[in-house]
Structure 1
Amino acid sequence: MSNKTYDVAVIGGGFFGCEIALHFHERGYKTVIFEKESDLFKRASFINQARVHNGYHYPRSLLTALRSRVNYPAFVRDYREAIYDSFKQYYAVANQPSKVTAVQYRRFCERIGAPLSEAPADIRKLFNSDLIEEVFETEECAFDGNKLRDLTKKKLKKSKIEVRLGTEVELIKSAGKEGILVRFKTGGQEGTLEANSVLNCTYSQINVLNARSGLPTIPLKHELTETVLVKVPRQIEDIGITVMCGSFFSTMPFPARSCHSLTHVRYTPHETWYDKPGKQPKNAHAYLDGSNPRTSFSYMVSDAKRYLSVVSDFKYIESLWEVKTVLPQSEHSDSRPILFVTDHGIKGYICIMGGKIDNIYDALDELDVYYDSKKKNGKKKAH
């Protein structure tokens, strides 16, 4: 294949990769996207709770909560066509062993400016009052992964950004003072191209590419996770529920399949491993594709029905499996900072990852700061 030259090569055709490519295109950069799957949004961008966070989920990480409050209205505005808000979202604070009390949670929401009110009596009656201290009505919505993908495709088509589907980047290496060589494979045919910058937006696969390219491993934590899709009883069809804060559960609309999701802090993760320097990283996609995990649906129901009895009537539809990746320092605080590593072993090579979908704004801000700084430094050298 011909050796073309681009300003920016984005590896990974999930939400982050596509939006970053669009952002560079708007700034006048010639951009290309590589995606090894047959379509965009095939993995983590689709397989998740589909929650657009408005801060409520993070009482133990004030910074993450505040960033969610800032990003929430922007995300709802920018992706209105993919937003599903025809439901009420409730957060219930459990008694022991919850890590926050109802009073602490109310103060937290006041501190971050998140709308909060006492849930109506008919909603509170759904819960076991012996185990649930208080139930709050909040303002939070979901996104439809199919509509978000289709909206993104329209934007990419309009911008005429080159998208190479079914194409896996095998490695990258320095191509001189200002360039990076990208070696890839499409349907068994190998090719190369050069780019001034390469952005690794492959989420759980970030270190797989780093290892293939002889670059340092970035410490990351991975979890093999199960999101269960369920049909819920009519009385909670139009609501979402999160019980917190600790080893509890959440059920909320999953718009892309016209059903609800069910996740549990204890039973959603089936396996955990870490990428560590000096250790060969596990290929998360290959591992997941070759595994045959058993659902934990019955365990989720057994525990969740103690707090919300209608969970007993949930009907199993299917399980969506994916590898969730976070920064190791997020383990104990529930924080979701972005990963943003510049010039990682090669000048112009950036590894970037968000812990939740609205982190995209934080990522774009960091990119703007980085590239504006490069431009200024370039002008100084010219003088």
Structure 2
Amino acid sequence: MYKRLPRIILVGVGRFGVHHERVLKQFHKVGKIDLVGIITKSQGPRLTTNLLKSVDAVDIVTPASTHYRLVKKCLPYCHVFVEKPLALNSKQAKELLSLAKRYNHSLVVGHIYRFHPVTLKLKSLIKNVNPKTCEVTGRFISPVETWRGEDPAFEKLHFFDVVDFLWGEKPDIVWTRGTNKIKKINLRYPNGVLANFVLGWQDEIKERIFTVQSKNKIFDCDFQTGSIIIREGCRHKTVLCSMKPDPLERELEVFRQFLTGQTVIVPKAEVGLKIIQIAERATLKAKKLSRPKIAVIGGGIFGLTVALHLKNIAEVTVFEREAQIMQGASKGNQYRHHMGYHYPRSRETISEIKLATSDFEKFYHQSIIRSFPAYYAIAKKGSLTLPKEFMKVCDEMSLPYEREYPPSEFLNADTVGLSLKTPEAVLDYDYLVRDIKSRLVENKQIKIKLKTEVVGASLSEDGQKILTIKSDNRRYKDSFDFVLNTTYVDHNNFCSWLGFKERNLEFRLKEIAIIRLSKTLPRTAVMIMDGPFATLVPLGNSDLYTFGDAPLSIHKIGRGHRDLLKLKKVLNKTKSHWPEMKKRCREWFPFLETAEYVNSMFVILPIEKNSLKDDARPTEVTDHSFGCFSVLSGKIITAVSVARKIKTMIQ
């Protein structure tokens, strides 16, 4: 544009303007520009027409509320560099863009993070990464004492621009929740990128963290330290980015080069408008919902417990495909009131159980049966946990026990190396169902839709969840503010509908036999650990027991959606393995000689494949973004703590 030194005026030397002043004075000193003047409210020349005609560009670093007026005044006469945001709204930004085109002057917006060395390095690192596999998270947080009433989506919009710089996309979907000081913003882009940002002011925190997670690598970027940690499996390496020159120096140097006619790329008004439009959508959709509409998919113990906890803050609808509540995995199990003995190779699972116990017992205390002992034994052969290791875990995790064997009818003591008597209780399933039904009757604001299946879901451009619902051979759609999926077996279906990351699940068609023992035997629970063994647990207050044989209870194993469909088709046609179970387990359990087979429960259970090595069963609560949550768990005892957690997340 100009072969001579560009003549520039700086307008504003406030909080950030002083840094522009520093850089421009440095450029002036070394002969890169001619800094004609510095204008503030109280000092410097007035921004007159004659002055504007005498310069090549104006650098505007004033409060955002003044940008529109000042840019509009300058554009007819010279080029303009203005700090972000370009204007307070897209209407103003569009007008400024039109003015720039009319007067053939360039309008450049100061999106400084495009020039940060971390951003530049990250772009080179991910250039060959498929964006469809990328999930972006970021936290742009400042100390609350620095808040001046600005909206987080406008004041902290840097990460919107970083995504635009990396991929050049405008989001299809924007969804926001939060407060006037801090917002959580979810965005989905046409190329498949999913971005989740937390922006605003909180406590004394200052964070500038931006992470890109691809299929095989994670790039953890810290803009404060100028570092990128690249993680790949168990390996990682740190890349340190030079902060000299600093981002502002880089940015203003590129603008200077642009003014002198060099071929460089600058973020012009089109970019500024795009970022404002994203910020507007994030701001407009952050309206506070007095009573949001919440859909709960699945009428089992987790779905119903969550519904009961949300009833006072939301309009809750529970969708259950069966004719009754508490079916599926909530019914097809042995109803242990877990204390942790069952997971000797996963201290994480034991800790979670211990933390969840108090909440569950306060909420469902009358459903707990403690009228008989539960014995945990370690087999002499084939156990993955040795007797000493099992006792060590119990001691370290404060799990009470006595070294004692059950009556000889229940266990052949010669086959085990250790037997511990424990106070682990069971749940009365029938009472639990009656209890929940009575609570639902009392809480009319919870709508229960039985024989109603959610068969699809999508997101609108403002992040509303549109569910496709099947009932009585008809299909219809309904929209919700939040959706909670508690159907374990359909976890990945839910994720695929909405474009969320699926889990690496293995599906097991499992049998739990129901048997009757001699009335002369005392009610007793016996579990042989830890491997291909078996368990016996009293069934509520009845004279029946549930019986599980670790290898023979598993009829089929599937992986993926097609296998799951096949398992569903054969679920109710599966023939019991009881004769084989009885024959295989007689060496441990003498009572099997006279046990009477009653029937069996069959259920499809998903297992996280990564958990198979240590048999961990942590409850997984996933915040997918856009107000969508999933629960994946194998332990009823965590239902109440999960419900409280989800309520907190939604509030």
SS in 1 for 2:311: helix
State the partner residue of 1:339: 620
> In structure 1, the residue corresponding to 2:434 is in which secondary structure?
helix
- Separation in 1, partners of 2:573, 2:543: 25
User: What amino acid is the match of 2:334?
Assistant: Q
Q: What residue is the counterpart of 1:350 in the other structure?
A: 629
Gap change, CA 1:127 and 1:188, over 3 Å in 2: closer
| 2:503–2:608 contact (8 Å) kept in structure 1 | no
1:306-361 per-position Cα deviation (integer Å, ceiling 9, x unaligned): 122222221111011111122111212111112322236xx112222211111224
Letter in 2 for 1:85: R
Q: Distance in 2 between matches of 1:186 and 1:271?
A: 30
Q: What's the secondary structure of 1:224's corresponding residue?
A: strand
Tell me, which stretches of 5 or more residues in structure 1 are unaligned? 373-383
1:208 positional shift: 3.0
Identity level (%): 22
Residue pair 1:205, 1:284 contacting (<8 A) in 2 also: no
Amino acid aligned to 2:646: L
Rate the CA distance shift 1:209–1:231 in 2: closer, same or farther, 3 A.
same
CA separation in 2, counterparts of 1:125 and 1:167?
Answer: 46
The farther-off stretch of 238-247 and 171-180 is: 171-180
C-alpha distance in 2, partners of 1:219/1:97? 28
Match of 1:297 in 2: 578
- d(CA) in 1 for partners of 2:472, 2:311: 27
Change (3 A) 1:288 1:204: farther
Spell out, residue by residue over 1:40-65, the C-alpha distance to the aligned partner (whole angstroms, 9 max, x if none): 01221111111110111011001111
Distance 1:304 1:247, change over 3 A: same
- 2:307 corresponds to which of 8, 14, 21: 21
Maintained 8 Å contact 1:288/1:322: no
Aligned to 2:372: 87
Match of residue 68, structure 1, among 341, 344, 353: 353
Partner residue in 2 for 1:223: 508
**Is contact 1:208-1:281 (8 Å) kept?**
no
2:415 maps to 1:136: no
1:162-311 aligned at under 5 Å gives the runs 162-212=447-497, 216-255=501-540, 258-275=543-560, 280=562, 282-283=564-565, 286-289=568-571, 292-311=573-592
Aligned to 1:323: 604
Distance 2:611 2:386 in 1: 21
TM-score normalised by the chain length of structure 2? 0.52
**CA distance in 2: counterparts of 1:179 and 1:258, whole angstroms:** 50
Question: In structure 1, which of residues 93, 104, 107 is the aligned counterpart of residue 392 of structure 2?
Answer: 107
Q: In structure 2, what residue type is equivalent to 1:169? A: V
Please identify the structure whose Cα radius of gyration is greater.
Answer: 2
The letter for the 2-side match of 1:246 is: G
Partner of 2:142: none
Deviations 1:19-59 (A, max 9, x none): 11112223x11111111111101221111111110111011
> Aligned AA for 2:427?
F
Given the superposition, is the C-alpha separation of residues 14 and 256 from structure 1 closer, same or farther in structure 2, using an over 3 Å criterion? farther
2-structure distance, mates of 1:9, 1:284: 28
For the residues of structure 2 that align with 1:283 and 1:158, how far apart are their CA atoms? Answer: 37
What's the offset of the Cα at 1:211? 3.9
What is the Cα-based RMSD across aligned positions, in Å?
A: 2.3
CA gap of 1:304–1:113, structure 2 versus 1, over 3 A, is same
Aligned-partner Cα distance in 2 for 1:236–1:130: 20
Does the 8 Å contact 2:309/2:647 carry over to 1? no
Q: 1:337 to 1:371 in 2, by over 3 A?
A: same
| Map of 1:375 onto structure 2 | none
Mapped to 1, the partners of 2:520 and 2:497 lie a distance apart of 52
Structure-2 change in CA distance of 1:58 and 1:215 (3 Å): closer
Q: Separation in 1 of the partners of 2:500 and 2:347?
A: 34
User: Contact 1:69 / 1:112 at 8 angstroms: preserved in 2?
Assistant: no
| Contact 1:224–1:288 under 8 Å retained in 2 | no
Question: Whole-Å Cα distance in 2 between the matches of residues 362 and 77 of structure 1?
Answer: 11
Q: Which runs of 5+ in 2 are unaligned?
A: 1-290
Q: Would the alpha carbon gap of residues 124 and 76 (structure 1) be closer, same or farther in structure 2, given more than 3 Å must change?
A: farther
Which is further off, 352-361 or 51-60?
Answer: 352-361
* CA positional deviation for 1:207: 2.3
Secondary structure of 1:335 counterpart: coil
Q: Residue 44 of structure 1 aligns to a residue in which SS?
A: helix
How big is the shift at 1:281?
Answer: 6.3
Q: CA deviation at 1:138?
A: 0.1
**What code does the residue aligned with 1:11 have?**
I
What residue number does 1:364 align with? 643
Amino acid at match of 2:307: A
Mapped contact 1:6–1:194 kept (Cα < 8 A): no
CA contact (8 A) 1:231 1:259 kept: yes
Find the counterpart in structure 2 of residue 377 from structure 1: none
Q: CA distance change for structure 1 residues 177 and 286 in 2, over 3 Å: closer, same or farther?
A: same
Contact 1:10 1:199 in 2 (8 A): yes
Whole-Å separation in 2 of the counterparts to 1:38 and 1:369:
31
Give the whole-Å Cα distance in 2 for the aligned partners of 1:256 and 1:325. 29
2:332 aligns to what SS in structure 1?
coil
